[in-house]
Amino acid sequence: MLILAWACLFGLLTLVFGDLLEQQANPNQQPVSIMRGEQIEIRLEQNRQGHYVVSGSINGKPAVFLVDTGATSVSIPAHLADEFNLPRGRSGMASTANGRVKITLTEIATLTLGGITLQNVAANINPGMQGEQILLGMSALKQLEFTQRGETLILRTL
């Protein structure tokens, strides 16, 4: 009985601290949309590492994005491409922080962040990326107005 109690306590602590760690890694799991006239706006908080991470979707499937203004286009780890039903186009080479890598060009039919929906976003499938996050590069961000104020990044439709 004592072992069962300890196991339950350990399971509960794992659940609570797992959620706390996830919230610290991605404080924007449910971005709130604000209407400003004709524009839709979301405000993102920095995570503990100073990055902007936000939950959204690609083609209706949940995704986690890391905002990267230094990336030319949205970049998706190759192991996630099938999950998002991404068509594969021609191959190319890309210069990344980890060197040159062979990528496959693709297009995202629908990319959503809170109440903001972008259509037909140029992207690439990158076999060099191992994580679960998608780099939200300039092919998506150029369709938005973005401003950083302190530790907040404001994304607004044009």
Tell me how far apart the alpha carbons of residues 62 and 83 are, in angstroms, rounded to a whole number.
Answer: 10
Tell me how far apart the alpha carbons of residues 28 and 66 are, in angstroms, rounded to a whole number.
Answer: 11
Tell me how far apart the alpha carbons of residues 142 and 68 are, in angstroms, rounded to a whole number.
Answer: 12
Compare 52 and 94 and report the one with higher pLDDT. Answer: 52
Q: For residue 98, name the pLDDT band (cuts at 50, 70, 90).
A: confident
Please give the pLDDT value at position 99.
85
Q: What is the mean pLDDT of residues 52-64?
A: 97
What is the residue extent of each domain of the chain? 2-157
Please give the pLDDT value at position 16.
45
Please give the pLDDT value at position 19.
45
Compare 1 and 10 and report the one with higher pLDDT. Answer: 1
Multiple choice CATH, 2-157, 2.40.70.10, 1.10.3720.10, 3.40.718.10, 2.60.40.790: 2.40.70.10
Q: Is 143 helix (H, G, I), strand (E, B) or coil?
A: coil
57 vs 40, 49, 98, CA distance in Å? 17, 23, 26
Cβ contact 47:25 at 8 Å? yes
| pTM given for the model | 0.83
Please give the pLDDT value at position 96.
80
Residue 46 has phi, psi (to 5 degrees) of -65, 150
Task: Render pLDDT for 5-52 as a digit per residue (tens, 0 to 9).
Answer: 556 555 554 554 444 444 558 999 999 999 989 999 999 999 999 999
Q: Is 10 helix (H, G, I), strand (E, B) or coil?
A: helix
